[in-house]
Structure 1
Amino acid sequence: GMADKMVIRALARSTGKTVDEVTAAFKKTGDIGQVAQELSHKSHVSDKSDISHVFEKLQAITRAGGAGSVEIKIDLLSELLKDSDPLSAKYIARTPVDKLRLGFSDMTMLEALSWMIDGTKQHKPVIEAAYNIRPDLGFIAGSVKKEGIRGVGHVKPVVGTPILCMRAERLTSAEDILDKGGGNVAVEPKLDGFRLQLHFARGPLAKSRGPLIKLFSRGLELVTDMYPDIIEAAKLEIGVKEVVLDGEAIGFNPKTGKYLPFQETVQRKRKYDIATFAKDVPLKLVVFDCLYLDGESFIDKPYTFRREKVEKLLTKGKTIIPAEMKVVSRPDELTRLFEHTISSGLEGIMAKRLDGAYQAGARGWNWIKLKGSYTGKLNDTVDAVVMGLDYGQGKRNKFGVGAFLIGVYDQKSDTYKTVSKVGTGLTDVEWKTLADSGKQIAVSEKPKNYDVNKIMNCDIWLKPKLVGEFRADELTKSPMHTAGFALRFPRLVQWREKKPEDTTSLKEIGEMVKLQKS
């Protein structure tokens, strides 16, 4: 795993260009592979590599860790690019940033494995079920090649390899939830943090200096180094040999014990200043499922069985704790729990079927979520000014825009204060309109009356002339946005013919927050 900036530095070293020159080329194309191909071609780099050499170098990049590892990774990649022809450089540069763009997905590979068995796709469901539990294409392909469909018929979780997360369906009424849940359901609070899967092992899998502990995000990204407080807690609070737990990490206030809004919790998702933010925004890992314990898979076990294991496992912890849970059988009970959860500042509830298995990688009715946003938590829209643009990558590159910063006017200070950075929810036509309009009102530097946190700086600044109407799930407290609040999941409703000073004001934002709470 390498960031775009690291690959840019490696390209600069391998081609003799400056970092600024490579960065400029990347901003034009949005494709680091295309930049590598063009610069390598211009540098007349000859092919000295074979596939085994490339694989060995990439493995070395993967293994590099600890102090000085960034420079080691850049040097290794630079050497590899020097030894590669332009076309090879294209795909080598894309590999560390996980953007090969070959036009097919893991699901395509799984279907191909089915065709390999007997020329049909009938085996894909079984192969996919195995992949959801152990998403390692190399292992799955090797098992199918060696033993056919029998090779993946009884795949179990492995500590250290993430399991694809189960996802919930949505409903909007207590009656419907109970009906889908079989008459009675387990209700847990839906926390507004980020999903974490904890893998823990002592013994042969463990390191000599302590247990093996890995944390994976919802997207299966290894994020262990981001959360040292959870790692230390796992060493003290988990007393079994091997376990895989599913939960939600959320910030909390040590003085009040209350959970923090998402906009504060999200500050912990970082690669730098980790220790500082671990102190400023401490986390709890709220565990709601046990998927594997001491050699036994619990994925096909009912919820009640898995929940019992969670409660027995986590009895003394202060950082890694079981999710609150109550079994209900009446609509009024479920509604009261939902209203209590919302009034406590949480996102909503999760209702879980008592006999339901864990459906790895799937969205199923064994879990049903009810969120405040579904019940109209923020009923009004916000008119906001587009303050700046970020360059697009991939498909967005054709528009030249991948995200944009929006803000509202504060009459008291005569400044524009930010409320969100929007990167989704627009049609191709709307992205093109934004890009075309942005070209007409772009300025060389940030306007003096823009109050923007440096973490929200944009690639292109605009005059305050383009106004959009936005709908969002809710307004949440945000230390990153200068309005003090942020739009959660903003969606463009339409572009508005409106003067920037006539948009939603900072004062109105405050009033909307009060209405939202009531």
Structure 2
Amino acid sequence: MTFGELGKYLEELEGVSSRLEMTRMLAKLFSEVSPNEGRLVAYLVQGRLGPAYANPNFGVADKMMVRALGEGAGELFRKLGDLGLAAEKLSGEASAARANHKLNSNVQIQNVYLKLTEIAEVGGKGSQEKKQELIGDLLQQMDPVSAKYAVKIILGKLRVGFSDMTVLDSLSWMVAGDKSLRPTVEAIYNVRADLGEVVELIKKHKTGPEIKKLQVTPRTGTPVLMARAERATAAGEIWKRNKSCAVEYKLDGIRIQAHCVKGKVVLFSRGLENVTEMYPDVVKGLTKQIRKECIIEGEMIAEDGEGNFLPFQQTAQRKRKYRVEEMSKKIPLVFYLFDVLAVEGKDVMREGNEKRRVILEGLVKTGGGRQTVRLIWRKTAKSAEEIDKYFEEAIARGTEGIVAKKLDGIYQAGSRDFNWIKYKKSYDASTLADTTDVLVMGYDSGQGKRAGFGMGAFLGGVYDKKTGKYYTVGKIGSGPSDEEWESLEKDLRKYIVDRKPEEYSVKKQAECDYWVRPKFVVEVKADELSASTAMHSSGFGFRFPRFVKLRDKQPEDVTSLSEIERLYKMQKRK
């Protein structure tokens, strides 16, 4: 496929608001490419050169692009407000001026991808000039539409408006003509969270029966989507579901998946970001203490000198890209391990939880001074009374509560099920049982003091996997500090879209001044949930919601609509 043909698809996709139409269009696009091209297209249609965890930054700002585009670009940019459109117009003018020189719409996708990669990888002295030169050379080879989208990709401003989940849907449509293969395709993605690789695999195997036979296992270097826990409000509820379970502390820290191989360690966040460079102390600890190649999971948390867990706000100070070494000494972390997914290339996710714990214990070296890497506290419960006892011990230790794990339960990548059940202190409080994680769907302009921040309140939504849509539960305008509020608005501003995304279900009364594409997940605490069919599409609304913190999660990992319904019922039982 040529980049010009891809550009035409991107142009059509930008004009589509229907998610179903977008899915079918993507299915047609992927049907027309080879397996290798499919991998590249999967990245390029999302404005990337690789999966989210390994996507190089082009390091090209608007000013540099104006210089690369040449004479007239600055004036066009001021007039059009979009450098992609400016590039398209300049390319068209160049073609018209040189009637005997037809601009090329036949540049192959692979060649453009290689050139884009070269631009991203340029560094060191004179890198800006070199990038400008490479961009200029690339655009001179392109037709106007291709130039427009190449510029948007380089600037990180391609806004086609679909998620990884839409691409997975499109692969099912491509093969089966409907969504029937979506669970199979998603199961592959959950274990290998690289959209390009998933597209390539599906393209190579072609038919539904072949795809269903695919045995995809964890691989060091490629993150696995993390398993999630369901909720319970009492020990008896846990015991009713899991008569045989282990109980572990639920820490309020930073969840991490560590990939260890040949003395090298890579750390992935819940949101699939490579965060290795943020935590040198944890990397050093893993290098010293882990015996074999493996993929392991746990929670990082800060402790004081006496081994007491510190509040999340202090642990969160380590989530930074600057002053990393200084902060690692000021706030050292302990990495508490609670699961293992693979050892020496062998998949152990389908082993029972009890067996995985034994395997995990055999991986960690202990003894000899302060240990950065430790095993999470764990007890086996033989009754509901014992679960309650361990819960009280966990609270006294300063944790959030407990996670009860079914002893024979497998590791369900990317799924939330009752193999793991969380029971938190907040479930006994007078406020709403547990916090919720919501997607920031959009926001309203600020008034009064908030006018200076550009945002007065943001609209939060929950997800329904059955429909693939987000449903509103409330507007949140309190909780964060002024600095947090200003920082959030600054981040949201980068992801504003011209119209409400198709996957957002919003009633007229809840509409926003600005819509934001699915990206940011926020933890929210509220006093209660009320029935709100007139105002909110979920049918429920928060009373007195407060911002707690940004969450490192994928948009689809927010609280589900069914969970909101369950929380409402829990509240009514109090």
Q: CA deviation at 1:18?
A: 13
**1:512 aligned partner:** none
Separation of aligned partners in 1, 2:122 and 2:425? 44
More displaced, 324-333 or 74-83?
Answer: 74-83
Change (3 A) 1:473 1:287: farther
More displaced, 166-175 or 329-338?
Answer: 329-338
Counterpart of 1:161 in 2: which secondary structure? Answer: coil
Counterpart among 465, 471, 483 of residue 545 in structure 2 = 471
Please, what is the CA RMSD of the aligned residues? Answer: 4.5
**1:8 aligned partner:** 62
Separation of aligned partners in 1, 2:155 and 2:336? 31
Separation of aligned partners in 1, 2:126 and 2:407? 47
Separation of aligned partners in 1, 2:151 and 2:392? 50
Separation of aligned partners in 2, 1:278 and 1:430? 43
The residue type paired with residue 309 of structure 2 is: Y
Change (3 A) 1:286 1:16: farther
Counterpart among 240, 246, 254 of residue 194 in structure 1 = 254
**1:515 aligned partner:** none
Change (3 A) 1:432 1:126: closer
Separation of aligned partners in 1, 2:326 and 2:149? 37
Is 2:353 the partner of 1:303?
A: yes
User: After the TM superposition, which residues 381-392 of structure 1 pair with which residues of structure 2 at under 5 Å, given as runs?
Assistant: 386=450, 388-390=452-454
Contact 1:387 1:407 in 2 (8 A): no
Separation of aligned partners in 1, 2:479 and 2:547? 16
More displaced, 133-142 or 104-113?
Answer: 104-113
Counterpart among 291, 294, 302 of residue 243 in structure 1 = 294
Separation of aligned partners in 2, 1:339 and 1:68? 59
The residue type paired with residue 163 of structure 2 is: S
The residue type paired with residue 110 of structure 1 is: L
Counterpart of 2:309 in 1: which secondary structure? Answer: coil
User: After the TM superposition, which residues 15-414 of structure 1 pair with which residues of structure 2 at under 5 Å, given as runs?
Assistant: 15=69, 35-41=82-88, 50=107, 51-61=109-119, 63=121, 75=132, 78-79=135-136, 83=140, 87-88=145-146, 90-95=148-153, 100-147=158-205, 148=207, 149-150=209-210, 153-180=214-241, 182-202=242-262, 211-240=263-292, 242-253=293-304, 255-316=305-366, 318-376=371-429, 386=450, 388-390=452-454
Change (3 A) 1:17 1:86: same
Change (3 A) 1:419 1:224: closer
The residue type paired with residue 139 of structure 1 is: E
Q: CA deviation at 1:44?
A: 5.3
**Any stretches of 5+ residues in structure 1 without a counterpart?**
203-210, 397-401, 409-416, 436-467, 476-488, 490-518
Contact 1:290 1:306 in 2 (8 A): yes
Separation of aligned partners in 1, 2:384 and 2:155? 48
Separation of aligned partners in 2, 1:363 and 1:376? 24
Contact 2:476 2:546 in 1 (8 A): no
Q: CA deviation at 1:356?
A: 0.6
Counterpart of 2:252 in 1: which secondary structure? Answer: coil
The residue type paired with residue 172 of structure 2 is: S
Q: CA deviation at 1:236?
A: 1.2
Contact 2:459 2:512 in 1 (8 A): no
Contact 1:11 1:81 in 2 (8 A): no
Deviations 1:37-91 (A, max 9, x none): 24435655756683333201332355567x6798599658854785466644554
Counterpart of 2:453 in 1: which secondary structure? Answer: strand
| Length, aligned pairs only | 409
Separation of aligned partners in 2, 1:346 and 1:18? 60
**Any stretches of 5+ residues in structure 2 without a counterpart?**
1-54, 95-102, 434-447, 461-474, 493-505, 516-541, 550-557, 559-574
Q: CA deviation at 1:246?
A: 1.3
User: After the TM superposition, which residues 433-512 of structure 1 pair with which residues of structure 2 at under 5 Å, given as runs?
Assistant: 470-472=544-546
Separation of aligned partners in 1, 2:346 and 2:161? 37
Separation of aligned partners in 1, 2:337 and 2:316? 18
Counterpart of 1:313 in 2: which secondary structure? Answer: coil
More displaced, 72-81 or 222-231?
Answer: 72-81
Q: CA deviation at 1:118?
A: 4.5
Change (3 A) 1:303 1:2: same
Contact 2:64 2:132 in 1 (8 A): yes
Separation of aligned partners in 2, 1:258 and 1:69? 50
The residue type paired with residue 183 of structure 1 is: K
Change (3 A) 1:305 1:379: closer
Separation of aligned partners in 2, 1:52 and 1:307? 45
Contact 1:387 1:406 in 2 (8 A): no
Q: CA deviation at 1:199?
A: 0.8
Change (3 A) 1:171 1:143: same
Contact 1:10 1:78 in 2 (8 A): no
Percent identical: 35
Change (3 A) 1:16 1:245: same
The residue type paired with residue 143 of structure 1 is: L
